[in-house]
């Protein structure tokens, strides 16, 4: 896995271009979605506000 540890949400356009193949692999295996940015990843550490799409309701939704 050569995806940078930095969250995908914070990637620059240059980083996305350089790691597009890894990004596509990440999106293909995605189990989490960022509710702030709408990005997807298999690893929640790559998202700033990760949520599980198959979850009916997230506990921290009540604010």
What is the distance between the alpha carbons of residues 18 and 22, in angstroms, rounded to a whole number?
9
Applying CB under 5 A, among 37, 42, 44, 51 the residue interacting with Zn ion is 37
| Cβ neighbours, 10 Å, residue 17 | 10
Interacting positions 3-22 with Zn ion (CB under 5 A): 9
Interacting positions 42-61 with Zn ion (CB under 5 A): 48
Token look-up 């921290």 returns 60
Query: What SS3 class is residue 33?
Result: strand
Applying CB under 5 A, among 34, 40, 41, 46 the residue interacting with Zn ion is 34
Binding site for Zn ion (CB under 5 A): 9, 34, 36-37, 48
């Amino acid at each position: 896995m050569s995806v940078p540890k930095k969250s995908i949400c914070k990637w620059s356009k240059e980083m996305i271009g350089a790691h597009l193949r890894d990004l596509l692999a990440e999106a293909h295996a995605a189990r989490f979605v960022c509710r702030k940015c709408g990005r997807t990843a298999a690893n929640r550490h790559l998202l700033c506000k990760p949520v599980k799409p198959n979850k009916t309701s997230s506990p921290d939704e009540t604010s």
